[in-house]
Amino acid sequence: MKHTFCLIILLLTCFFAKAQSSSDLIVLDTKKLFGKFSIIGGSAQLLTDREGYDNQPNFINDKQVAFSSIDENGNSDIIVYSFDTEEFTNMTRTTTKSEFSPRLTDCGKYISAVTVEEDSSQRLWLYPINFGEPELLYDDIEPVAYYAWHNNIAAMNILGEPNELVYPYSRENIAQLAQNVGNCIQKRPKTSEITYVDKGTSVVLNGKETFELKSYDLEEKTAGNYGVAMGQGDDFAWIDKNTLIMAKGQELYIKKVNKSMEWEKIAVVSMPGYGAISRLAASPAGDKLVLVMERK
């Protein structure tokens, strides 16, 4: 299968490639023992390996990861890779639309995706896992950039000046949670918290600029703070309820938010021909980590 992906910058009407260099997906075996998360040395393997763009991985279960990919015609589709069969499957194969940022919905019946439509609208669509007809979820909320699910409702980053993180409790009650959030929105496991990097205000730490990781509890309607991010990055993942993971260059760091606000370096991922880690996704079981690494 040949497919190409471009890491997206969502503008008001279009998706464009953010980086000019190609990227691939790399999978690592991981383990959790007595509450400690670690990378299994020597386990790194290429999941994709070609010139082009594969990006935005998200696990839809312990054995499958979905990601965005642009084909040779410049069209973005959602691809699912099975670790059991070692096969790739197109969840979408559209010619007039492009799909990005795949996630499994809370009900488990759909893979959702930000879809760029024929008129350049950017809205959230649902694609049935049984390959039925796709459904538009919110017809009047756009342009959607990134999002995360809670209680079968999507918290969405809506582009604008400034961009806004919103949560539609109902059609009449669309709550604004935050402004100027980064390009990653994650649900904290086993909570009702939506987490993100606040790009609105920077923090100087050890003479270097960085940003804060923040949260909003959708049930309690309260804001929270998990300290600073790694460098100027805004992509992160939750390993479990209390463990955050971020990358800086080729280094991986974790933070145990129930114990400390400090980051701990756990690994350096060095792959010949590859540079920095730009995105990552952790399996629900905590036994795999998929990275996006830039080709040199």
Q: 60-96 burial by CB neighbour count: b if 16+ within 10 A, else e?
A: beeebbbbbbbbeeebbbbbbbebeeeeeeebbebee
Predicted local distance difference test score (pLDDT) of residue 1? 35
pLDDT of residue 52: 82
* Mean pLDDT of the 25-43 span: 94
Is the pLDDT reported for residue 125 higher than 80? Answer: yes
The rounded mean pLDDT for the chain is 92
Check the CA dihedral 250-254-255-261 and report its sign.
negative
Predicted local confidence at residue 72, as pLDDT: 78
**Amino acid identity of 98?**
S
Average pLDDT (270-289) is 96
Q: Give the residue-averaged pLDDT of 138-157.
A: 98
> Binning pLDDT at 50, 70 and 90, where does residue 5 land?
very low
Strand order of the sheet with strand 54-61? 54-61, 64-70, 76-82, 87-90
CB of 149 closer than 8 Å to CB of 106: yes
Tell me which of 2-16, 98-112, 162-176, 234-248 is least confident: 2-16
In the sheet with 236-240, reading across from the earlier edge strand, the strands are 236-240, 243-248, 251-256, 264-268
pLDDT at residue 3 above 70?
A: no
**pLDDT of 93 above 70:** yes
pLDDT on residue 200: 93
pLDDT value for 86: 97
Question: Quick one: average pLDDT of 218-225?
Answer: 98
* Ranges 12-16, 182-186, 255-259: which has the least confidence: 12-16
44-86 per-position pLDDT tens digit: 999 999 888 899 999 999 999 999 998 778 889 999 999 999 9
Q: What is the DSSP letter of 161?
A: S
Percent of the chain scoring above 70 in pLDDT: 93
| pLDDT for 6 | 28
Letter string b/e over residues 215-232, b meaning 16 or more CB atoms within 10 A of that residue's CB: bbbbeeeeeeebbbbbbe
**Token reading at 90:** 């197109």
> For residue 284, how many other CB atoms are within 10 A of its CB?
15
Q: Which of 90, 67, 94 is nearest to 6 (CA)?
A: 67
List pLDDT tens digits, range 183-192.
Answer: 999 999 999 9
Confidence of residue 16 (pLDDT cuts 50, 70, 90): very low
**pLDDT beyond 50 at 17:** no
pLDDT value of residue 22: 86
CB 115 within 8 A of CB 154: no
CATH for the stretch 8-295: 2.120.10.30
Q: Average pLDDT of 21-28?
A: 90
d(Cα 208, Cα 272) in Å, to the nearest integer? 29
Is cis: bond before 284, omega within 30 of 0?
no
What pLDDT sits at residue 21? 59
| Domain boundaries defined on the chain | 8-295
The tokens describing 65, both together, are 């990861």
